[in-house]
Amino acid sequence: MKKFFKVILATTMVVAMTAALAGCGGSQSADQPKAGDDNESPQKETLIMATNAEFPPYEFHEGQGIVGIDAEIAAAIAGKLGYDFEIEDMAFDSIIPAVTSGKVSFGMAGMTVTPDRLESVDFSDSYATGVQVIIVKEGSQITSVDDLFADGANYNVGVQTGTTGDIYASDDIEGAGLGTIERYNKGADAVQSLATGKIDCVIIDNEPAKEFVAANEGLKILDTEYAVEDYAICFAKGSELTEKVNGALNELIADGTVQAIIDKYINAE
Ligand code: ARG
């Protein structure tokens, strides 16, 4: 059931394709104005997406802009619904507060639907699956997820603050007295810390894990999965946008647009 993907590393191509497909007029995703940008309708409303652009291939900085699967799906949704589109980059754990306070229209950040989050936000239907995996140094004595929970285990585990990796590890490891958690603002910082031997492993989503491991020598992803999750877009509770955006999302799933965007960034082997 485990899927192996090859990451597209031709980033310049990704950017070019992003600009072409997104065509969203959002300053973050395309730096050139495209033909058809609606200067004639300046009162067009803007959808603002909160994200944390430290999570390739879903959202990451490329040149001056933010690109990735979420950025492109959201731009396509905004385009379909006739909105302008902007991305606001922030800490991952600021996204839900920005959404609930109405500072942004929605949050999209490879965000997992969890019962806790459902208490403060509404979610769209899911558009992708995420798997929490463990990154270790090659030769690590941690060889499966179970090693983290073995009697007497005492590992120092890195996570990105506020992510499900953080939430699970806080309960299952720190809370159970089986180790300590180091929390980082960015997944990449956790991985850097692992590479330099400051921590024993990193718990993070599989697709960013693959990119971070590819970018660092001597790291690997354990075969066993910690958790399988659904990614969705979050909205302020009761927001009238939820239904509209969800409708557009489902049309983009049905007509193959979402899969095409995913395939651009993650190549099935
Ligand atoms: N899927 C995980 C979660 O929802 C991690 C998401 C991190 N996303 C990001 N853009 N940094 O908690």
Same-domain check for residues 210 and 161: yes
What is the number of structural domains in the chain? 2
pLDDT classification of 268: cutoffs 50, 70, 90: low
Q: What is the pLDDT of residue 65?
A: 96
Same-domain check for residues 137 and 221: yes
Question: For residue 240, what are the domain limits?
Answer: 46-127+232-265
Residue 52 in any domain: the answer is yes
pLDDT (tens digit, 9 = 90+) per residue, 73-90? 999 999 999 999 999 999
Judge residue 255's burial from the number of C-beta atoms within 10 Å of its C-beta, 0-12 exposed, 13-18 middle, 19 or more buried: exposed
The pTM of the full predicted model, rounded to 2 decimals, is 0.84
Pocket test for ligand 1, best of 160, 167, 186, 234 (most atoms within 8 A of CB): 160
Same-domain check for residues 51 and 75: yes
Same-domain check for residues 152 and 116: no
User: Quick one: the chain helix, strand, coil %, rounded to 5?
Assistant: 35, 25, 40
Residue 85 in any domain: the answer is yes
Q: Across all residues in the chain, what is the average pLDDT?
A: 87
Atom number of ligand 1 nearest to Cα 164 = 12
Residue 177 sits in a domain whose CATH number is 3.40.190.10
pLDDT (tens digit, 9 = 90+) per residue, 30-70? 334 444 444 455 567 999 999 999 999 999 999 999 999 99
Same-domain check for residues 208 and 249: no
Pocket test for ligand 1, best of 106, 127, 205 (most atoms within 8 A of CB): 205
- Which stretch of 9-18, 41-50, 247-256 has the lowest confidence by average pLDDT? 9-18
Residue 143 in any domain: the answer is yes
Given a cut of 60, whether residue 1 has pLDDT beyond it is no
Residues 6+ positions from 148 with CB-CB distance below 8 Å: 134, 142, 155, 157, 172, 173, 178, 179, 201
Same-domain check for residues 136 and 221: yes
Select from 233, 189, 266, 252 the least CA-distant residue to 51.
233
Structure-token match 């180790």, residue found: 179
Same-domain check for residues 89 and 143: no
The 10 Å Cβ neighbour count of residue 57 is: 23
